[in-house]
Structure 1
Amino acid sequence: MSLLSVRDLTVKFAMRDQTVTALNQISFDVGRGERIGIVGESGAGKSITGFSLLNLISKPGFIAGGEILFDGQDIAKMKEAELRKIRGNRMAMIFQDPMVTLNPVLTIGQQMVETLMAHRKLSRAEAEQIAVLKLREVYIPSPEERLHQYPHELSGGMRQRIIIAIALLLDPQLIIADEPTTALDVTIQADIMELLLELCQSNKVGLILITHDLGVVSQMTERTLVMYAGRIIENGPTREIINDPQHPYTQGLINALPQQTLPGHKLKQIPGNMPALTDIPPGCPFSPRCSYATDRCRSERPRISRYGTVEVACHEVERLLKDEKKEMTA
């Protein structure tokens, strides 16, 4: 049985004059210790997916349907008291900005110790000892001293390491990392991602990495979900999706990478923009931007179909695969 099984998850937001759909019947599984990536442009629904998995959607948003089964328990139907036993304890989340996550008026030690004591029957001395060990795991120098410091006294990279240490405090089975290096310098980003990968592998912790960076996904994950306008449009092994993308949108994302363009030439872009939630087109939501779109694409929503080890939501994939084979044999 999968550690996490999401089935037909739908999330909506109640606006003043209408209700919009942010996630439209998405389904996927995460195995124990498995690392998956969720990629797509801003507005695709990546972060909403992460927040939904911990039932952290706040009003006017709400989970309108589907299941979020974590170890067989449906998080979407849990009461707050039950959720507190899951959040931070068995599932942890790393947010984009550590300065928003960390409490500026509490020391690092207070925040770590209180987290431990809220979930475990420990003395303060025992909790401090565990906090020091976790800080040492993420290569924080002089961890005993850091316990007495406030977040503003530390660098951005060190704050993010502390966030990772806090996420691992209670030995969770799954970590959701939402753009964990966005607020950091490029030189520090690689170190943080390498650290996160090392810790997940050594502790056998599952990882859901939410990012727009396909380069990071290719190095960090075993499987990738590609999202567009609140839907999963491609799902499969990361290596296959990076090397041989099937959906035209995924192909566009790969082609837009800087390394895909010759020096001195313009970067390749996907024409148009992600549709607003209030203006999702009928049929395939990517059809207005897709050079392969047909009348069927513009009127009928494509279902997920399996092609080998990859699942794709596209009417034209079969034809495109046949054309590709013809070119190879010509």
Structure 2
Amino acid sequence: MALLEVNNLDVRFALRQGEVRALRDVSFTLDRGERLGIVGESGAGKSVAAFTILNLITKPGYIAGGSIRFDGQELTTLKPKALQKIRGNKISMIFQDPMMTLNPVLTIGDQMVECLKAHRRIGSREARNVALNKLRQVYIPSPEKRLDQYPHELSGGMRQRIIIAIALLLDPDIIVADEPTTALDVTIQAEIMTLLLELCEKHNVALILITHDLGVVSQVTQRTLVMYAGRVIEQGPTREIINDAQHPYTQGLINALPQMATPGHRLNQIPGAMPSLANIPPGCAFHPRCSFSKDDAGNLRRDCREQVPGFVTSGNCRVACHMVRDLVDSEPRDNGRSKTSQEVS
């Protein structure tokens, strides 16, 4: 049994102009100690998926359907008090901006001690020693001094290290990192990701990394989910997705990386923009931007225009794309059948 199982997750926001589906039939698993990346453009639903795991979705948002099971326990139906024993304790989260996460009027030590006391029966002196040990683990220089400092007295990289230390305070089974290096310089980003990878491997902690940076995903994660307009459109081993992306959207993301452009020329880009979740196109949501959605005569394929693609298996990846389905169907079949999503679920 997987440590975390998410099945057919459906998240909606009840707005005045109508209901918006932020996540549509999102399913994935996470094993103990595994590192999973979730990638996609802004608005793809990455952060909503992360927040939903911890049930941090607030009104007008709500979970309309699906299941989230942690270590065999259903989380979507847990009462707030029971969920508090898991949130922060068994599943920790690292947010994008450390200055928004840390309380500016409390010292680092006060915040770490408060976190420990909220989940454990522990004295202030013991809690301070635990906090000090965690700061050492994330290579904070002069940790005794840092405990008595306020967030504004520290650099951005130092603050993010402290956020990681807080996430590790209660020895969680899973860390959810929502674009943890967005506000940092490139050199500091590399240090933070190296640190996060080292700590996860050392303590056998599972990691869900939310990012738009495929370069980071390729260096840190073992499996990757690619999301578009609230839906998973490709998932599989990270190396296979990076080296041989199947979905046209994933191919577009990889081609848009700076190193894929010819020196002196404009960067490659996917035409168009992510659709509004309030106005998702029928059929495949990516078809207005997809060069493969047209037939040889230049007309839109009917299936791309009208049918939401189901998953097919290509190699070790699952892909939701009509074109990939056609390619799989044209290959030699085992016992006269191609594999569908139902057969590999």
Query: TM-score band, normalised by the shorter chain?
Result: over 0.9
Alignment map for 1:236-251 (pairs within 5 Å): 236-251=236-251
Equivalent residue for 2:306, pick from 287, 291, 299: 299
1:131 correspondence with 2:131: yes
CA contact (8 A) 2:235 2:318 kept: yes
Residues 311 and 319 of structure 2 are in contact (CA less than 8 Å); yes or no, is this contact kept in structure 1?
yes
Q: RMSD of the alignment, in Å?
A: 1.3
Find runs of 4+ consecutive structure 1 residues off by over 6 angstroms. 321-325
Paired letter, 2:110: Q
Q: 2:10–2:21: 8 Å Cα contact kept in structure 1?
A: yes
Distance apart, 1:323 and its partner CA:
9.1
- 1:160 counterpart = 2:160: yes
Residue 207 of structure 1 is matched in structure 2 by 207
Instruction: After superposition, give the CA deviation of every residue in 1:158-209 in whole Å (9 maximum; x if it has no partner).
Output: 0000000000000000000000000111121000000000000000000000
For residues 197 and 307 of structure 1, the distance between their equivalents in structure 2, rounded to whole angstroms, comes to 29
Amino acid aligned to 2:77 = K
Q: Is the 8 A contact 2:312 2:325 kept in 1?
A: no
* In 2: Cα distance, 1:292 partner to 1:321 partner: 15
Map Cα deviations across residues 9-39 of structure 1 (whole Å, 9 max, x no partner): 0000011031010000100000110000000
TM alignment of 1:52-201, pairs within 5 A: 52-201=52-201
Deviates more, 1:205-214 or 1:142-151: 142-151
Q: CA deviation at 1:324?
A: 11
* 1:262 Cα deviation from its structure 2 partner: 1.4
SS in 1 for 2:76: helix
* C-alpha deviation, 1:308, in angstroms: 2.3
Distance (whole Å) between structure 2 residues aligned to residue 296 and residue 55 of structure 1: 35
Counterpart of 1:316 in structure 2: which amino acid? M
User: Within the alignment, does 1:217 sit opposite 2:224 as a pair?
Assistant: no
Match of 1:309 among 294, 316, 322: 316
Once residues 282 and 243 of structure 1 are traced to their aligned partners in structure 2, the CA distance between those partners, rounded to angstroms, is 30
Structure 2: runs of 5 or more not aligned: 294-300, 333-345
**AA paired with 1:87?**
R
Q: Give me the TM-score of the superposition, normalised by structure 1.
A: 0.96
C-alpha separation in 2, matches of 1:265 and 1:309 = 34
Instruction: Provide TM-score, normalisation by structure 2.
Output: 0.92
Identity across matched positions, percent = 68
Distance 1:216 1:17 in 2: 37
State which drifts further: 153-162 or 316-325.
316-325
Q: Which runs of 5+ in 1 are unaligned?
A: 326-330
* Counterpart amino acid of residue 163 in structure 1: I
Count of matched residue pairs: 325
Match of 1:277 in 2: 277
